[in-house]
Amino acid sequence: MTDWDLMVEYIQRAMDALDKAQEAKNGLREKATPEAFDAFRSEMDALIEELANLQNVLDNQEAFALDEMADWLSKAFSGNPSEYRRTPRMKM
């Protein structure tokens, strides 16, 4: 999976986390209980984490693009991705 595919995955995961946070918000609005608040906080923490991952990519998009191009060229000539990267490999 390329970094571009992972960026799309990060966007999708952030959108899913937002949907879950909105569901938890609605549950808290309907019935304000400690359990509903804990569920809301948990979903908000997950959303914050996903958005931070996405922000990291957006802040460094030129570096990610150059590293991706270097990987493609290295794979074309040597069959292996480039060992040197200015950005960390993205993880799922």
Please give the model's pTM, rounded to 2 decimal places. 0.61
Q: What are phi and psi of 41, to 5 degrees?
A: -60, -40
Q: CA torsion, points 42, 43, 49, 54, in degrees to nearest 10?
A: 180
Closest alpha carbon to 26 in 45, 13, 15, 18: 18
Structure tokens at 1: 């999976």
Domains assigned to the chain:
3-78 (1.10.287)
pLDDT tens digit string along 66-80?
887 888 888 888 888
Task: Name residues whose C-beta falls within 8 Å of residue 91's C-beta, 6 or more positions apart in sequence.
Answer: 6
Mean pLDDT of the chain: 83
